[in-house]
Amino acid sequence: MNKDAVMVLPSGINKATGLAAALDEMQLSPENVVGIGDAENDHDFLSFCGYSVAVANALPTLKERVDFVTNGSRGDGVIELIEKLTISDLAEFGH
């Protein structure tokens, strides 16, 4: 389950494996990635990213494992992250 949705994927395929394939193709490191999420299907993905963010309405278990939790929920949290990236490139968090 992913909150209230059922997601069906082939075994061993998730957001992290997709990101890994894309980064390999572009010859980039996961350390250069800021990821944001809110649910069960984001755990592996966010663990793979160089900097991980959860929106305020994310599941508690996800919020415990990320580098930063936004004050805003859903899209407002994404906007908050984008503003932090464009204004300071996350400098206030040592990145």
Assigned domain for 62 exists: yes
Strand partners of residue 34: 51
Assigned domain for 46 exists: yes
pLDDT digits (tens, 9 = 90+) for 42-81: 999 999 999 999 999 999 999 999 999 999 999 999 999 9
pLDDT of residue 14: 93
pLDDT of residue 95: 64
Burial of 40 (0-12, 13-18, 19+ CB in 10 A): middle
Domain harbouring 23, CATH code: 3.40.50.1000
Domain of 34, in residue numbers: 15-93
pLDDT digits (tens, 9 = 90+) for 15-34: 999 999 999 999 999 999 99
Assigned domain for 84 exists: yes
Assigned domain for 8 exists: no
- pTM over 0.85? The answer is yes
Tally of domains within the chain: 1
Q: How far apart are CA 90 and CA 34, in angstroms?
A: 10
Assigned domain for 4 exists: no
Q: Is residue 91 over pLDDT 70?
A: yes
pLDDT of residue 9: 78
pLDDT digits (tens, 9 = 90+) for 38-48: 999 999 999 99
Q: How far apart are CA 7 and CA 2, in angstroms?
A: 7
